[in-house]
Structure 1
């Protein structure tokens, strides 16, 4: 989807391999509209592949990577997915949805938008597309000359600017104040989890801090995560040799506590085995 004109392209493919995705992008967008300056994608493996990155470098396109499990990073396209699925369901498309897709796309491209009362086709080509309804109810012709029409259309298109709509809600997500100073963070796992699975993974060290996201170090790679999925991790100093005073008459003395990842005996004599999940780095 083009961010300015809202022109939408949807290409059905059997497999979302890196080669198929790169080929679909080149044949259905770049070959028609040229090379864009920037392109925003999620962190899918097909977009992180060497084939896709080589295509971006070859064509001089800057790729913007959105944060994982954060659809607000590319909200315009995510909302278009919702509209596209609703249109396919209205057409009654179930197993043959790929046959109905071109008709649905034609309707979305010629529909007038509420923010500027213009269609994506008009903003892309400078002229409206002829839809099947024109065969039954032809549009009335005007007395405007072609030269005057082209001049006014050119002035209208040059004066257009991206519309900024207000947010639907003013509520802001809660962000812990210690995120600005903590050295490690926990990452919320927003994928489909099995029952009784802890909701957070980590802790992971923080490499860089930004206004909307953090760059953290996973066990095998670096990644960026939105602030909405983070909470600070408080790392205890396990190397301290402090002595805990106890009453030797009633409870056993504890000197130089053992590291937290090993079993230990409480005052009542019960053997405790701490959760190993927080004793070493986990894997997302």
Structure 2
């Protein structure tokens, strides 16, 4: 049964005029397979499953309502053109709050940026601080100066 369906689906997708990208046509192809009447049983699979035919996209509105839909379409297009996107929220002008300990700490621990084993500490250090700004900290690591983002540091409590 599944192989039969896959064969019919493949045949239907191969019948698409431009089969380069068949993904957009897939819903219509599947709807077609479910609503097409089978010659041997005289019913569609949808009729056998639901007891009645599926409503196809052209059957949603009666014919007299189709004229009403044609008058509604320009009004809908005009309303959509009048919509304006919501502007993004402004970036907060206040500086980020940095704990006082970061501003006065002489040594800091740096968070590791890799996966660590269960018993490995999450931070390295302590390293002496040589310079700092609101978001960056420069540390002395084995005689070299490294600049680290402030969110990766933790003040070291050295007695």
- TM-score bucket of the superposed structures, by smaller chain: 0.3 to 0.5
Q: TM-score, normalised to structure 1's length? A: 0.22
Q: Highest Rg: 1 or 2? A: 2
